[in-house]
Amino acid sequence: MRADKVNGNTSRGLKNPKGKTRWHLLNSLWPEAEACVKVIEHGADKYQENNWQQNVKEQPKYYKSAIMRHLTSYLSGERIDPDSKLHHLAHVAVNAWFLMWGERNE
């Protein structure tokens, strides 16, 4: 018996993603995700690996300020951060992730 006819199922290989994280929706965003990882690597090299985890719990104002600095630079027309040589919006995204993590781990 053909696999697509088992149990009266005539659909070929269809799966029900309901309730599952659909990571494939990020397929076209991998370069942007990689830019965010590079921002985290830059911070690890500049400060210390995972240093942000302690700091975000104690001083979320620093991450909010960083978001505003990078966003203001971006809105002023500057795309690349002069220090890291990475996109300002990647910095914005990473700092937002840090704040979200801080809220979850309060």
Q: How far apart are the C-alpha atoms of 96 and 81, rounded to whole Å?
A: 17
Give pLDDT tens digits for 3-51: 544 455 555 677 777 889 988 888 999 999 999 999 999 999 999 999 8
Give the number of domains in the chain: 1
Q: Does 53 fall in a domain? A: yes
Fill in the amino acid letter for 98: F
Q: Does 72 fall in a domain? A: yes
Q: Domain range holding 97?
A: 31-104
Q: Does 74 fall in a domain? A: yes
Q: How far apart are the C-alpha atoms of 36 and 2, rounded to whole Å?
A: 46
pLDDT value at position 22? 87
pLDDT value at position 7? 52
